[in-house]
């Protein structure tokens, strides 16, 4: 739809790759859900800043002060991008995985955690030291809310509780009813953290409007390079917790005690959980990506992506052997992420053929969401994971799936090539 505008310029758009059939073709990166190509604008901002970067926070020199300003201003940009509340803390981490592990380490004593079995492993696994309840996969958004409400109604109402939920599935791309889940959590005195790794790159999010207590995402899925992430939200649990890492930057005062030990006073700010020299370039590139998405008009990007996902859906619907995976039904709203299996094909061979014969980069496997993919495929819970997954015999159900995913930088041609290759 020309009204949706052009894709945003990203790195790698002109990279060519060889084909087994001879010749070469421009690479069609259709694995944005794993890592999206960096926006050209982010790369340019980083290149402009790189000659000037210096150590942040305590350097007296001009460049250290400049870097400190950029680093701290990045917090403000990210807070605005996420629609944070005034007293929310923005903690810079390495990734979504790191952010959720940080929160897990900061849970108050005796905290109960509620998490759907459908989560990505990054949001499924960090709570294993807490009193965690794993909720069964719901088959509609309404069932998700009802399942959570039932579990919360049974909980000990006096202790602290946390719900962890993903905003958009990295397997099906389906949107989860975050606002309703947050309302249910709060009605039962629980808090909620949103794993926005797949939501934030595809959809404007507002912590305030969704009324979630924390949000986590990764820079490398939001069109910035690898190595940085965000945990943003309520400061009270974070302030009360032991620092995620002990070290310089997190400590305000350190002194020897008369008995020979060491006393530490930790910072109360986000610095408490950011010990060590931070990833200034990574943080700055997240802020640059947030600005670029906002300035491009996020609604236009969403409209364009929805246009592309419709093309994919319609194209795949013409291939009877293709089965699209979905939890909430085929027409459920989803971001530009979709997984499928092809009857009579091993998914790994299919993905390898898309690469070797068409220069298309997709992903195959269980996508770090093993329980969810097994539920969607109806396979035995004990089948193996990505590594060494046995192949399904002819006529048997697939044991893994193929995922195609795209976003703000995807030209129409990549999606068209994918659809005709599948056909």
What is the spatial distance between Cα 324 and Cα 207, in angstroms, rounded to a whole number?
31
Query: Would you call 290 a catalytic residue per the annotation?
Result: no
Q: Which residues of 191-229 are buried (b: 16+ CB within 10 A; e: fewer)?
A: bbbbbbbbbbbbbbbebeebbbbbbbbbbbbbbbbbbbb
Q: What is the H or E stretch that residue 142 is in?
A: helix 141-153
- Using the minimum distance from each CB to ligand PMP, give the nearer residue, 123 or 326: 123
Q: Shortest Cβ distance from residue 130 to ligand PMP (Å)? A: 18
CB neighbours of 322 closer than 8 A, spacing ≥ 6? 316, 340, 341, 342, 343, 422
- Using the minimum distance from each CB to ligand PMP, give the nearer residue, 197 or 377: 197
Region from 181-189, 195-203, 270-278, 324-332 binding ligand PMP, contact rule CB under 6 A = 195-203
Q: Within its chain, how far is the Cα of 180 from the centroid?
A: 20
Region from 9-17, 115-123, 385-393, 412-420 binding ligand PMP, contact rule CB under 6 A = 115-123
- Using the minimum distance from each CB to ligand PMP, give the nearer residue, 170 or 400: 170
What is the spatial distance between Cα 92 and Cα 37, in angstroms, rounded to a whole number?
21
74's tokens = 């990045």
Site for ligand PMP in 331-370 (CB under 6 A): 368
285 binds ligand PMP (CB under 6 A): no
Region from 70-78, 89-97, 137-145, 173-181 binding ligand PMP, contact rule CB under 6 A = 89-97
The residue behind tokens 């194209």 is: 315
Site for ligand PMP in 202-241 (CB under 6 A): 218
- Using the minimum distance from each CB to ligand PMP, give the nearer residue, 97 or 400: 97
- Using the minimum distance from each CB to ligand PMP, give the nearer residue, 67 or 405: 405
What is the spatial distance between Cα 385 and Cα 371, in angstroms, rounded to a whole number?
10
45's tokens = 């901002």
Question: Which residue in the list 111, 290, 368, 387 is annotated as catalytic?
Answer: 368
Region from 7-15, 40-48, 90-98, 242-250 binding ligand PMP, contact rule CB under 6 A = 90-98
Q: Looking at 88, 174, 195, 305, which residue binds ligand PMP (CB under 6 A)?
A: 195
Site for ligand PMP in 144-183 (CB under 6 A): 166, 170
Q: Within its chain, how far is the Cα of 167 from the centroid?
A: 9
Region from 2-10, 120-128, 132-140, 298-306 binding ligand PMP, contact rule CB under 6 A = 120-128
71's tokens = 């680093």
Total of residues contacting ligand PMP (CB under 6 A): 15
First to last CA, the chain: 22
107's tokens = 């849970």
- Using the minimum distance from each CB to ligand PMP, give the nearer residue, 195 or 417: 195
The residue behind tokens 């949001």 is: 123
96 binds ligand PMP (CB under 6 A): yes
Q: Shortest Cβ distance from residue 190 to ligand PMP (Å)? A: 20
- Cβ atoms of 401 and 341 closer than 8 Å: yes
280 binds ligand PMP (CB under 6 A): no
Q: For residue 260, which phi and psi values (nearest 5 degrees)?
A: 100, -15
Q: Can you name the residues that pair with 90 across neighbouring β-strands?
A: 232
358's tokens = 């068409």
320's tokens = 């009877």
Q: Looking at 31, 70, 102, 120, which residue binds ligand PMP (CB under 6 A)?
A: 120
| Residues 5-34 as x/- pattern, contact with ligand PMP by CB under 6 A | ----------------------------xx
Q: Shortest CA distance to 401 belongs to which of 173, 170, 171?
A: 171
- Using the minimum distance from each CB to ligand PMP, give the nearer residue, 168 or 392: 168
Positions touching ligand PMP (CB under 6 A) are 33-34, 95-97, 120, 122-123, 166, 170, 195, 197-198, 218, 368
Active-site positions? 368
């Amino acid at each position: 739809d020309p009204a949706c505008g052009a894709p945003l310029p990203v790195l790698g758009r002109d990279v060519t790759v060889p084909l087994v059939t001879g010749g070469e073709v421009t690479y069609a990166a259709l694995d944005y859900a794993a890592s999206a190509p960096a926006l050209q604008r982010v790369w340019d901002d980083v290149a402009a800043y790189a000659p000037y970067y210096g150590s942040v926070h305590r350097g007296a020199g001009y460049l250290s002060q400049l870097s400190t300003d950029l680093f701290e201003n990045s917090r403000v940009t990210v807070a605005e991008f996420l629609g944070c509340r005034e007293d929310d803390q923005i903690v810079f981490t390495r990734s979504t995985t790191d952010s959720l592990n940080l929160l897990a380490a900061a849970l108050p004593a005796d905290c109960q955690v509620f998490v759907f079995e459908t989560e990505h492993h990054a949001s499924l696994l960090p709570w294993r030291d807490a009193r965690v309840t794993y909720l069964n996969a719901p088959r509609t958004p309404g069932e998700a809310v009802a399942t959570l409400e039932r579990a919360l109604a049974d909980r000990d109402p006096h202790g602290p509780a946390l719900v962890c939920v993903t905003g958009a599935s990295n397997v099906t791309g389906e949107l989860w009813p975050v606002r309703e889940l947050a309302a249910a959590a709060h009605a039962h005195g629980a808090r909620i953290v949103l794993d926005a790794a797949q939501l934030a790159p595809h959809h404007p999010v507002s912590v305030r409007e969704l009324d979630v207590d924390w949000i986590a995402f990764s820079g490398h899925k939001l069109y910035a390079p690898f190595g940085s992430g965000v945990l943003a939200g309520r400061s009270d649990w974070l302030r009360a917790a032991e620092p995620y890492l002990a070290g310089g930057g997190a400590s305000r005062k350190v002194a020897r005690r008369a008995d020979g030990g060491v006393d530490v006073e930790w910072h109360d700010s986000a610095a408490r959980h950011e010990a060590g020299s931070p990833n200034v370039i990574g943080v700055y590139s997240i802020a640059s990506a947030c600005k670029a998405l906002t300035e491009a008009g996020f609604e236009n990007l969403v409209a364009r992506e929805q246009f592309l996902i419709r093309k994919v859906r319609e194209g795949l619907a013409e291939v009877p052997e293709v089965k699209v995976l979905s939890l909430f039904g085929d027409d459920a709203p989803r971001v530009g992420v979709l997984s499928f299996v092809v009857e009579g094909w091993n998914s790994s061979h299919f993905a390898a053929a898309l690469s070797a014969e068409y220069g298309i980069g997709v992903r195959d496997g269980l996508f770090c969401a093993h329980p969810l993919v097994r539920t969607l495929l109806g396979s035995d819970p004990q089948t193996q994971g990505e590594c060494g997954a046995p192949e399904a015999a002819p006529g048997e159900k697939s044991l893994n799936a193929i995922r195609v995913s795209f976003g703000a930088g995807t030209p129409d041609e990549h999606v068209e090539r994918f659809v005709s290759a599948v056909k």
